Amino acid sequence: MSIDRLIEKIKEKNNPTVAGLDPKLEYVPKYITDEAFEKFGRNTKGAAEAIWQFNRRLIDSLCDIVPAVKPQSAYYEMYGWEGVCTLRKTIDYAQSKGLYVIADVKRNDIGTTAEAYARAYLGDISLGEGVTATAFNADAATVNGYLGSDGILPFLSFDKSIFVLVKTSNPSSGELQDLKLESGERIYEYMASLVKKWGEAHIGKHGYSNVGAVVGATYPEELTLLRKSMPKTYFLVPGYGAQGAKAADIAAAFNGDGLGAVINASRSIMCAYKKEGCAEEDFAKAARNEAIGMRDDIRGFM
Amino acid sequence: MSIDRLIEKIKEKNNPTVAGLDPKLEYVPKYITDEAFEKFGRNTKGAAEAIWQFNRRLIDSLCDIVPAVKPQSAYYEMYGWEGVCTLRKTIDYAQSKGLYVIADVKRNDIGTTAEAYARAYLGDISLGEGVTATAFNADAATVNGYLGSDGILPFLSFDKSIFVLVKTSNPSSGELQDLKLESGERIYEYMASLVKKWGEAHIGKHGYSNVGAVVGATYPEELTLLRKSMPKTYFLVPGYGAQGAKAADIAAAFNGDGLGAVINASRSIMCAYKKEGCAEEDFAKAARNEAIGMRDDIRGFM
């Protein structure tokens, strides 16, 4: 099972964290953007090259520390199809360095369209005459369950993992997710029950399902409740670092086996060089130090 | 206001329909795929070329009949970054032919990431030194509101339209959307109330808001209720044609002014040549005839 591969990488590195790769151009050191724009012009092709060079060096510097990376698709799509080309190159490169790749795409659609997204991010596509190809070929993807089973089941046709949005980390997540149903359950709790049901037939040898959940570290009470109610669901936990959650907040994301969650940090790692005020040429080293600090911080609470 | 531009195109063509451009490779006539694969090889580049040639001819054939097209992003992403390049070319070409383009991307994320998606599909991006570029530059996008305001408001920074998923057309849409809240409202009704609130400050001269809603034609009762409760919200209505809804089902989507809804059909138009059994070289003509038939069918019920 795909989730077993993630768990094994987490165990191997004794590190339940994932580095988010959300390469806004303003995060990229100037010497890299200058070089890219000089080569390709100040256009989306140049921007795509800059974020590729940034990612490549971050991956080189992080690949023996973290088990996984999570590219956030928006920051590639923002630079058009050239940016999307960098997304594919980033996924391939990260996998070549032994990393598990979670494509943070939050896709959602119905029936055949959900199947198209599933094939795009996790599966393969047929080009006729027996020829197949892969579009992005990630190990896992984030998905939104507002459309019900039709939008989820097509993603389970491959042995890959998904993380369904349950309780998101943002300030307004409660506007819909916290509403109480007639039954007394809140919407996010009901979504959690759907996630459990979808995951039942996809449980791997470590006891966790290929169907995971996104649960923000910024809501530690909800995180604690959800951890108890869905023991076989792996959590992808955003909110650590720049969004304000501390290691103590996320301790509740783990089960007694020390597994069950992978904690994401993006900006705090990518922009560590800015916070530390070191030379921009040392950005990858600063990111590495930050990732090590985060690992040790979280280990300390487990 | 962006929504006024859509309305004016609908009035001009006296046709409240939108042609979905969901170019699965199996929908494309063989002579087009053969030519593309011969030129570029049987790979994603060849597939992207095939769907581009398909789209281009469909747009040529439909542009004086329909006011708008709706490319479904999944069918481009499925062919990797080359497919995504075709998405951009399709949007540009459709706009050059006077069409309003709704990017069906159902994006959703938080804060700065929602802003990145908004810039990608509706706005522009900064490349430094005062240089800007556009990634996809559509006129409207579909979005998912599960994350609350944080995921929606960034899309309203430009004068473009959005259509928020309220009641989707798929069989399992009720699994979450139809649940009753403590207040007695159903989730989709609550989402509708959020959509109204988000739209209040963005109402154009025809009395409709830039913040629209996706409401499936396959649920005519819900469609009727929502039409009454959100008179200023434009509806993007999928489900006509291949998904089974008839013109009588969608009549309820319109207000007394004959406005308020744009009805989508994708497969029934794109694959009309297969249904009619005509020569595949006549696919664009068959699509045109189908679009005319749909227009007249819907006009008859208004």
Closest residue by Cα to residue B91 from B78, B109, B104: B104
Query: pLDDT tens, B114-153?
Result: 999 999 999 999 999 999 999 999 999 999 999 999 999 9
- Longest distance between any two alpha carbons in chain B, whole Å: 61
Token look-up 């591969």 returns A5
Q: Are strands B140-143 and B161-167 parallel, antiparallel or unpaired?
A: parallel
Other CB atoms closer than 10 Å to residue A281's CB: what's the count?
11
* pLDDT less than 70: residues of chain A: none
Segment B215-240 shows an average pLDDT of 95
If you count residue pairs, one on A and one on B, with CB atoms under 8 Å apart, how many are there? 242
Choose from B30, B31, B75, B110 for mutation: most chain A CBs within 10 A.
B110
Query: pLDDT tens, B12-27?
Result: 999 999 999 999 999 9
Q: How far is A92 from chain B (nearest CA, A)?
A: 13
Measured CA distances, A235 to A165, A214, B5, B143, B180 (Å): 10, 6, 44, 24, 27
CATH architecture group of domain A2-299:
Alpha-Beta Barrel (3.20)
Mark yes or no for CB contact B110/A168 under 8 Å: yes
Q: Which residues 159-198 on chain A approach chain B with CB closer than 8 angstroms?
A: 165, 168-177, 179-182, 184, 187, 190-191, 194
Is B52's Cβ below 8 Å from some Cβ in A? no
Q: How confident is the model at residue B209, as a pLDDT? A: 98
Sequence spans of domains, chain B? 2-299
Choose from A170, A187, A189, A268 for mutation: most chain B CBs within 10 A.
A170
Annotated catalytic residues of A are 106
d(CA B32, CA B49): 9
Mark yes or no for CB contact A81/B87 under 8 Å: yes
Choose from B113, B137, B165 for mutation: most chain A CBs within 10 A.
B113
Helix ranges restricted to H, A162-300? 174-177, 187-199, 220-229, 247-250, 267-270, 272-276, 283-299
**Whether the Cβ atoms of residue B121 and residue B141 lie closer than 8 Å to each other:** yes
Please return the burial class of A119, using the count of CB atoms within 10 Å of its CB with bins 0-12, 13-18 and 19+: buried
d(CA B85, CA B221): 39
With CA atoms as reference, the chain A residue closest to B46 would be A127
Q: How confident is the model at residue B300, as a pLDDT? A: 87
Q: How confident is the model at residue A257, as a pLDDT? A: 93
Segment B84-95 shows an average pLDDT of 98
Annotated catalytic residues of B are 106
Q: pLDDT band for B241, please (50, 70, 90 cuts).
A: confident
Mark yes or no for CB contact B168/A191 under 8 Å: no
Q: How confident is the model at residue A245, as a pLDDT? A: 76
Is B264's Cβ below 8 Å from some Cβ in A? no
Mark yes or no for CB contact B74/A174 under 8 Å: no
**Whether the Cβ atoms of residue B143 and residue B195 lie closer than 8 Å to each other:** no
**Whether the Cβ atoms of residue A82 and residue A44 lie closer than 8 Å to each other:** yes
**What does pTM read for this prediction?**
0.98
Query: pLDDT tens, B40-65?
Result: 999 999 999 999 999 999 999 999 99
Q: Which residue has the higher pLDDT, B84 or B249?
A: B84
